[in-house]
Structure 1
Amino acid sequence: MKYRIFTAAFVLLCLLPAAGMLFLPPTQAAGNERLAPAPHLKQEDGSWNTEFLGDVTDYVADHFALRQELVTANALLRTKLLASSPAEDVIYGSDGWLYYAQTLDDYQNHATLNAQELEQIARTVAEMQAFCQARGARFLFTIAPNKNSLYPAHMPSRYLVSDSQGNYERLRPLLEEYGVQYADLFTFFAKQEEVLYLRTDSHWSNRGAALAHDFLMQSLGLPYTCFGQAAYRMANTHRGDLYDMLYPKGTALEEQQQYQTTFSYVNEPRTAEDILIQTTSGNAQNGRLLLCRDSFGNALHPFLAEDFSEAVITRQMPYPLTQVQAGDTVIVEIVERNLPNLLKYPPDLGNNQAADSVE
C-alpha cells in the first residue's frame, strides 16, 4: 500500500507543473531572460512549422507552473553548496559577486572581431561624428566597461585570461587614429578607489553613473552639475538584473545611492528601459541633448538630463542621427560587450534603415 501512495505522490508531483499551466498566471521572464514564445502549427508564410514539437518542448520548459520557485530553489542549492550558477547567463563569483556570462570573451581577451571589423567600427563612429558636426552639433563617443573588465578579482579562477588584446584594446588606438572624440571611461574608472559597479547587477551603480556623467561633461567642455561632490543617501532599493535571473523569486535588494534631481519627464516612462525617453530641465545651462545609449543609460540619463534644457534619450538602433539639429550635443554610449552591434546596425544617416533596440 505504501508503494502505491509513494507512486501516486510521485506522479502527482510530476504532473503538477504541467497541469498548473492551465490554472496559474503565465510565467514572467526574470531579468534579461527571454522566454520561448507560444508555438504555432503554421509559419507566417502559411507553411507548416516543421519544428512545432521542438517549439512545444521549449515553451513548456520555459512556462511550466511554479517554474520560478523551482528555479530559485535549485539556484540556492547550487550556489550555496557548490558555489556555481545553474543559470546559463550568470557567472557566480566569490563573495556573492555575479557576472554576465556574455562578457566572457571580452574578459578572457578573445578577439571576436577581426582587424577589418575593428577598423570598420572606428570608421563608422568617425562618420557619425562628421555627420553630427556638419549639422553644427557636438559629438562624444564613450564605451562603458564590462563589470569584469574593471573588477575581475571575484571572477572564478577557472576562467583563464589570455595575454593577447581583446576587442576594446585593439579598437582604442583606431578611434584615436580616426580622430574620434572619445571619453575613456576605462582609464577614468580604473583610477577611482570606490567600487562603482553593483555586486548583483551587470551595470554600474548610481554612484558610478554620477561620476561617469561628470567625466563626460568635462570631456565635452560644458558646464555641469558636479554629482561627484553632491550629497546622496543609501537605501536597499536595487534588485540586480543578474540576481533576478539567478533567483527569480528571491527577495534580496542591494544597497544603492539615491541622488536628488530636478529635471522632468515629458511623459513618465514605463521603465528606464523604454526605447524613447524625453526630459526637460528648467535649471539647465546647456541646450538639447541626444543620448544614444544601451542599458547603461538607465542610471546615466537622469544625471545628464539635469544639465540640458531638453534631452532625447534613445535605445533605437540604428542611431537616429537624422534628428540632430544645430547646437545639439550628441553622446553615443555603448557597453564593451555590445561593440559588435556597431557593425550589425550601421548608423542612420538618412538611408531609412529599419530600427531595432538592444539590451
Structure 2
Amino acid sequence: MGNRIYSAVLSTLFLLVLIVPLGLFLVSPRKEISTAEKRKLATFPKVKGNLQGMLAFPKQFDIFYQDHFGLRDSLIRASNAISLNVLHLSPSPVVIKGKEGWFFYTGESVIDDYYGQRQADAISMDEYLALFADRRDWLSRIGVRYLFIPVPNKITVYDAYLPNRIQRSRGLSFYEEFIAAANKEVTFHDTVNLYALFKRHKEERQLYFKTDTHWTNEGAMLAFNQMIAYCKQWFPEAQMRAISKDEFSIDNVPFSGDLARLMHLEKEVGETVPVVHIKQPCAGTDQPLSAQELALLPDRKAAAKAPSTNGCPQQKLTALVIHDSFGNGLRRYFNERFKRVIYSPNVPFDQLKQLISHVKPDIVFDVWVARNMQRIAPDPQLTAAVLEAQYAASDKVRLRVDNSLDINSVSLRHDLRLQPSTDGLLLQATSSDPYFVVPFTPPADGERYLVEVNVDAPQDTDFALYFTTADDQGTIRPQHRVEQNVRKGANRLLFRLPHPHVKGLIRIDPGTTTGTYLLRSLTIKAVPTTKQ
C-alpha cells in the first residue's frame, strides 16, 4: 500500500513538473526582460513560408520556449541558490565565492590580471605612460593641472578572502606594474597610488563592498582625500581641506550589489554597509551643462551621456572629472570642495578637448578602475601637438644624419648604397630590406628623445628605426623599433623613441621597397622629461 502511495505521489509530482510550466507558458503574459538574468528574452519567431524558414522554426521556437516557460525565473533563482549554499559554488561564470561573505568579479580579464598574465614590456608601458604625459602637457599649455587616478580592482586589495587555490597563483597586476613604472621613470608622475593607500587602511574600514565590484562610501572618501593632498600642493592659496569626521554621519543599511545581481541572487545575497551623509551640504543637485557647453562635444553620443555639473559656491577651484562608474561614489565629496565640478562619465578625452579649452578648469581628474585602464586610448592629434611643441622648444640635438654624414664611418649596412647630395643623403636600396647603422652615444643617461625624419620615398612603404638600450650590449632587437607609414614623395615624421634607456646604436631602415630614397635629415633631440 505504501509503495502504491509513494508511486502515485511521485507520478503526480512528475506530471506537475511537466504540465505546470507548459500551462503557465500558455496563459501568462510574455516578458521582455528576465528579472533573474537581467537580459532581454527571445521573441516569438516569425513563420516563413519557404522551406528554409520552416526547417529553422523548431529550433527558434525551442529558444523562445526556453526563455518563457512557466516559473522560469523562480527555478533559475532556486538552482542558483542551491549551487551557492549547498555546493558552495558561484552560479555565475564571472563571480567567485570567497571567504566570509566576500564575492569577486573575474570577468573582463580581471582574474588573468590577478595571475599576472597582462604584464606589459618596457616599450608598451613607456608608450602607455606617454599617453598620460601627453594629456598632462597639453593641459599645462592652457593652464590646467592633470591628475590620473587608477583605482585597484577589489580582487587585488582584498585577496585574503579569495579561495586559497587562487591566492597561491597571484602574480604582478598591471596596476602594480603601472604604479612601479610611474614611480621609477620620469615621463609621468602625476598619479595616485591608491593600492598602497588601501592596503594600509583596509583593516580599519571596509573599502569595497562584499557583494559589489565598487568601493564603499568610505573607500571613495579615502581616495578623495588623497586627491586633495595633491591639490593642496598645487594650489596652496585655495586652502583645500580633506573631508573630516565632523562633516558627515554614517548610517548602516542593507545592500545587495552588482555581483549578487550577476548571480541572480540579489534577494538572497546581501550585506550591511555604511552610507556617508554630508551633514550640511553646500552643493545642490546635479545640473545639466549649458547648451553652449554641450555644443562643444563633437560627438552627439557623447552629449547623450549627459555630462553634468555641481559644486559649492563658497570654494575657489573648478574641476572636470572624467570617470567610469567608480567616479559616481566620489561626487558627494567633489561637490563640497570645488566651486564648480563638471562630471563626464565615460566620454573619451579627445571628445572633451574643446569643452576643457572653453571652461579651463583648474584641474582635470581622470578616474578609472584597473580593469578599464587598458581601454584608455591615445589621441593622435593631441600627441602630435605635444610632440611638435616639445621638439620646437628643444635645442639639445643628440644625433643628426644628413648629407654631412661621413660615409666611411658607417660600418654596417645592408643592401644599401649611400651617397651625399646637395639636398641630403641618397640611399640606393637593392632589396626589400635595406638599412644602415650609426652610433648613438648621448651625453646623459635616462634622457627622453624625439626623432624628426624628412625623407623622400620612391613608393608607398614603411620607414623603421631600430635602437639599442643600455641592456642590449650592442645587439639590435626586433622589438626595439618604431615604424611609420610613408607615402611616395616627400614625408616628414615625428615620433618618440619608446624606451627609457636608449643608447648604443641606431639602425635606419628607409623602406621595404627597392629604389632611391632621399634622406634629407634625421634628427634626434632630447626633450624635457617632466612638465616645466
TM-score, reference length from structure 1:
0.79
- Post-superposition shift, 1:76? 1.8
On the 8 A contact 1:201/1:240 being kept in 2, the answer is yes
Q: Which amino acid aligns with 2:138?
A: F
Separation in 2, partners of 1:52, 1:90:
35
- Post-superposition shift, 1:216? 0.7
- Cα gap change, 1:245 to 1:309, in 2 (>3 Å): same
On the 8 A contact 2:129/2:188 being kept in 1, the answer is no
Structure 2 unaligned segments of length 5 or more: list them: 1-6, 47-52, 289-303, 384-532
Map residues 276-291 of structure 1 onto 2, 5 A cutoff.
276-291=306-321
1:321 aligned to which of 331, 346, 352: 352
Separation in 2, partners of 1:39, 1:159:
43
**1 or 2, which has the higher strand percentage?**
2
1:310 aligned to which of 326, 329, 340: 340
- Cα gap change, 1:187 to 1:248, in 2 (>3 Å): same
Once the two structures are overlaid, the 10-residue window that deviates more, 276-285 or 86-95, is 276-285
- Cα gap change, 1:40 to 1:9, in 2 (>3 Å): closer
Does the alignment pair 1:301 with 2:301? no
- Post-superposition shift, 1:255? 2.0
Map residues 42-191 of structure 1 onto 2, 5 A cutoff.
66-102=71-107, 103-111=110-118, 113-162=120-169, 164-176=171-183, 177=185, 178-191=187-200
Question: What SS does the aligned partner of 2:317 have?
Answer: strand
1:208 aligned to which of 213, 219, 240: 219
Separation in 1, partners of 2:252, 2:26:
41
On the 8 A contact 1:69/1:248 being kept in 2, the answer is no
Question: What SS does the aligned partner of 1:189 have?
Answer: helix
Question: What SS does the aligned partner of 1:227 have?
Answer: coil
Separation in 2, partners of 1:54, 1:168:
45
On the 8 A contact 2:228/2:242 being kept in 1, the answer is no
Separation in 1, partners of 2:217, 2:43:
37
Separation in 1, partners of 2:61, 2:381:
42
Map residues 191-340 of structure 1 onto 2, 5 A cutoff.
191-192=200-201, 193-221=204-232, 222=235, 223-229=239-245, 230-248=247-265, 250=267, 252=270, 254-260=272-278, 261-267=281-287, 275-319=305-349, 320-322=351-353, 323-325=355-357, 326-340=360-374
Q: Which amino acid aligns with 2:95?
A: V
Deviations 1:148-200 (A, max 9, x none): 21111111122254464221222223334212311111111111132211111
- Post-superposition shift, 1:244? 2.0
Quick one: higher RCO (CA 8 Å, sep 6+), 1 or 2?
1
Map residues 7-22 of structure 1 onto 2, 5 A cutoff.
8-15=15-22, 19=26
On the 8 A contact 1:17/1:67 being kept in 2, the answer is no
Separation in 1, partners of 2:40, 2:124:
32
Separation in 2, partners of 1:256, 1:57:
46
What residue in structure 1 maps to residue 506 of structure 2?
none
Q: Percent identity?
A: 23
On the 8 A contact 1:238/1:256 being kept in 2, the answer is no
On the 8 A contact 1:214/1:228 being kept in 2, the answer is no
Deviations 1:227-252 (A, max 9, x none): 24233222315331112222445164
Structure 1 unaligned segments of length 5 or more: list them: 42-47, 269-273, 352-359
Separation in 2, partners of 1:181, 1:37:
48
Q: Which amino acid aligns with 1:122?
A: L
Higher Cα radius of gyration: 2
Separation in 2, partners of 1:228, 1:54:
62
Question: What SS does the aligned partner of 1:200 have?
Answer: coil
On the 8 A contact 1:35/1:62 being kept in 2, the answer is no
On the 8 A contact 2:148/2:367 being kept in 1, the answer is yes
**1 or 2, which has the higher helix percentage?**
1
Separation in 1, partners of 2:143, 2:249:
36
Q: Which amino acid aligns with 2:32?
A: P
Once the two structures are overlaid, the 10-residue window that deviates more, 114-123 or 59-68, is 59-68
- Cα gap change, 1:93 to 1:346, in 2 (>3 Å): same
Question: What SS does the aligned partner of 1:106 have?
Answer: helix
What residue in structure 1 maps to residue 491 of structure 2?
none
On the 8 A contact 2:113/2:174 being kept in 1, the answer is yes
- Post-superposition shift, 1:292? 0.8
Separation in 2, partners of 1:181, 1:53:
60
Separation in 1, partners of 2:380, 2:277:
34
- Cα gap change, 1:53 to 1:231, in 2 (>3 Å): farther
On the 8 A contact 2:208/2:216 being kept in 1, the answer is yes
Separation in 1, partners of 2:44, 2:93:
23
On the 8 A contact 2:231/2:240 being kept in 1, the answer is no
Separation in 2, partners of 1:115, 1:16:
63
2:378 aligned to which of 333, 339, 346: 346
Deviations 1:278-321 (A, max 9, x none): 23223442332111111111211221122122212122342233
- Post-superposition shift, 1:7? 5.1
